Chain A
Amino acid sequence: MATQKINAPDLGGAADVDVIEVLVKVGDKIALDTPLLTLESDKATMEVPSSDVGVVKEVLVNVGDKISTGSPILVIESEAQTVAEKAAPADEKKPVSPDVSPKSSTTAQPAEKPAEKKPEKTTPQDNGTIHAGPAVRRIAREFGVNLEEVKSTGPKSRILKEDIQAYVKEKISNANGAQSGNIGLPSAPSVDFAKFGEIEKQNLSRIKKLSGKNLHRNWLLVPHVTQFGEADISEMEQFRGAQKEKLDKQGVKLTPLVFIMKAVVAALKAFPQFNASLDASGEQLILKKYFHIGVAVDTPDGLVVPVVRDVDQKGLQQLAKELSALSEKARLKQLTANDMQGGCFSISSLGGIGGTAFTPIVNVPEVAILGVSKASIKPVFEGDAFVPKLMLPLSLSYDHRVIDGADGARFMVTLCGLLSDIRNLLL
């Protein structure tokens, strides 16, 4: 029985990711893929599965620590040969796992060294020009206040303790306002619902809390317009039906979404302002020469949006495969930050459920999102008679700062045209 160190897997390039839950303790038996930690990046929460089998000897991280790819997580006593060991002889494994000793690691500090604090970042302060006594300078240090920013009210403009207090108070109330998104907006009244009947309180899931913040921000930040449209997908569905049996045998699930992704890419090529982001100053548009499409996936814990890369360069079959792999990963909470970065345009499909139309919220920094509802057979007047057609309702929300109403309509018309005759996708 040898002790092994388990290190954090590839976190998709994310560094300093918060540990929000430690799911194992010393003495626990862990198997391959046993969840060890829950991490929270800026995009989502994810679980870190075990890459080894054994008994936990030591847990090297705590809730609140920040870890990066390769940070040591656990020391285990391995009981059986592991997958990794089968691939490589045991003695070769040691140098492979980065031997980051807990002492020197900056990201993961073990609990028993609480006093090894990193030096405080020094706030630049010039004692020569600032008029404040030593006690005031000390309290400023304790709160990390830069005295140069503090308004002085003392005699001969001396900064007083009260001035620091006022400064800190103001900063806190500003920060609170920004956090709850109340940019000067009144907050909802607090109601005692129990007065009206039985209630039950439930905590929002991590993902809900996280995506809630982003959605709220996007809703307030982006002037939304939603353009509706209907695409005739009778022929597309005929073609898909014809291929289905053959592809099912190969284990490929060809969904309408795959066609929609291809059509969206063609439309993005025709209207490059849809494949863009507004820069931070709001003065420039950043046009993207790549086509990564985010696909909203419903999971029991909430909504996540993994990104399929280079959709323009991939065939329908490959896209279908990638899409089901990503959805599976999402449901298993194994998406990494990397899986959810870099999207140009998002698609939210509720087609499998129903409904006629909805107004999706733009996934900032993208500038548009397509909502897909359930297709239904409708009578369409063609030539001199009504013909039954399979019509797919589409809802395109866009950032009106970047996209004009006319362009929104043009994009929708183009998209519908592409879907009603998928041969257009070849052009």
Chain B
Amino acid sequence: MSDSVELVVLGSGPGGYTAAFRAADLGKKVVLVERYENIGGVCLNVGCIPSKALLHAAKVLDEAAELNACGIEFGKPNIDVAKLAAWKNKVVSKLTGGLKMLAKPRKVEIVQGVATFKSAHEIEVDNGTEKRVIKFENAIIAAGSRPVKLPFLPDDARIMDSTGALALNDVKGKLLVLGGGIIGLEMATVYHALGMEVTVVEMMDQLIAGCDKDIVAPLFKRVQKRYKSILLKTKVTKVEAKDDGLYVTFEGEGAPEQPERFDKILSSVGRRPNGDSIGAEKAGVKVDERGFIPVDKQMRTNVSHIFAIGDIVGNPMLAHKAIPEGRVAAEVIAGKKHYFEPAAIPSVAYTDPEIAWVGVTENEAKAKGMKYGKGVFPWAASGRSLSMNRDEGLTKILVDEATNRVIGAGIVGPNAGELIAEITLAIEMGCDVEDLALTIHPHPTLSETVAMSAEVFEGTITDLYMPKKKA
């Protein structure tokens, strides 16, 4: 075990391990520090991956129930929550185990413990029993973020954050989801499918703030019918923990007059960066008041040999942003002149229906006074969507009026997250909207809706009747 290395990576999430592996492949001697026993960070252990496993189960449950309408009736499902959780954990350990196998041939040394900077060239790793100082030439801070804790929530086992929710300890009774963002709505989908009665409370006037309202609307319509209630423009002011439940007081537009009783609360009101907990000041690395570490386009902090990537450098807090950032940091350290400057980063909510958007949203275009046009294709006219017994989807494409270039898109419907990738590529390549319309899409697929939304914009669509055609 050497205590002086070329590169130390703090945190083994998708950004951190990507950076470590890439740097190792470029010839660097790398130590990857992870506080937990399993590498992979939030995403693999308590985030994207386990939630997707549970969402898959939820989807099958829902689809089976919906097949009633098609003349196929299953009996009431028998849900063994412990078995489901074990299966989910198996998926996770398969991936994290796989990561360790990927680290080995690269000679990336994984050190378990909590890392804090001692100086601009040293970190101390504390694994609870001993402290070890590692000297480094370069460091990449990939220490991620943690769920925001609301100060008024009592300390009670029935109140969980996203990590607790994924553990699937108890799935009976009434669930209150605090925060109608992506994480809250995904977990609401799972818990509802497993049989809980779900209430969602959100301070803003729509679910998934940041996405256009017309894209969120089909999701809202669907969950409104399924969940007990969705309280918009409402906030929780008090939670009282009693033996028979959690009594919640609301305030705002949708607030019930009396405190309501819940069996469980999921707090999913956002995440905050971990910039405050790595001793950055000892290395001279600047951390802003919110806990973010400012970086340049090469992911370099104010200290030129220390880099930072992922959630800790700013929004959006997404694994698919952290991964390319990690690559850039590793490559810059290895002497390459690379920059992180994507044209667009997509966002996806794996709810049912899925919601995905990329580039400029309509809200943003309006706020900035941009001159844009749009093409919206309703999936009610998509044979593939109807044959899936779904008709609420929409594909919306935004186009720069001056150049006819694709600048953004929003999609809602099953598999929206897969469809958004094509438009992300279109934005990166500077495609005209016509390029999308002229690209042959396989029939019948949901991907056709991308080409059709372009045709709607062009006025050349034949799968709909548009009274006013352009040409």
Contact = CB atoms under 8 A, between A and B. Distances in A.
A115 B300 contact: no
B341 interface: yes
Nearest to B296: A119
B286 interface: no
Given A115-B6, A118-B304, A158 B430 contact: yes
Interface residues of A, number: 23
B428 interface: yes
A224 interface: no
B304 A138 contact: no
A60 B11 CA distance: 35
Interface in B333-360: 333, 335-339, 341-343
B430 A137 contact: no
Contacts of A120: 298, 337
A144 B337 contact: yes
B137 interface: yes
A181 interface: no
Given A132-B430, A144-B337, A158-B429, A122 B297 contact: yes
Given A122-B297, A138-B338, A141-B337, A156 B304 contact: no
Contacts of A131: 430
Contacts of B337: 120, 141-142, 144
A146 to B, nearest CB: 13
A130 B337 CA distance: 20
User: What DSSP secondary structure best describes chain B's contact surface?
Assistant: loop
A134 B428 contact: yes
B294 to A, nearest CB: 13
B392 interface: no
Nearest to A138: B338
Interface in B111-144: 137-138
B305 interface: yes
A115 B333 contact: yes
Contacts of B336: 142
Contacts of B305: 113, 115-117
A127 interface: yes
Contact of B339 (A113, A117, A141): A141
Contacts, number: 51
A133 interface: yes
B343 A127 contact: yes
Contacts of A118: 304
Interface string B296-334: 111010001100000000000000000000000000010
Of B137, B305, B429, most buried by chain A (CB within 10 Å of CB) is B429
Interface in B29-43: none
Contacts of A115: 6, 137-138, 305, 333
B109 interface: no
B304 A134 contact: no
Contacts of B137: 113-116
A350 B169 CA distance: 100
Nearest to A130: B430
B237 to A, nearest CB: 44
A423 B6 CA distance: 76
Contacts of A144: 337
A134 B343 contact: yes
For the complex of A and B, the 10 pairs showing the least CB-CB separation, nearest first, are A131-B430, A133-B429, A142-B337, A116-B305, A115-B137, A134-B428, A115-B138, A141-B339, A127-B343, A141-B337
Interface of A: 113-120, 122, 125, 127, 130-134, 137-138, 141-142, 144, 156, 158
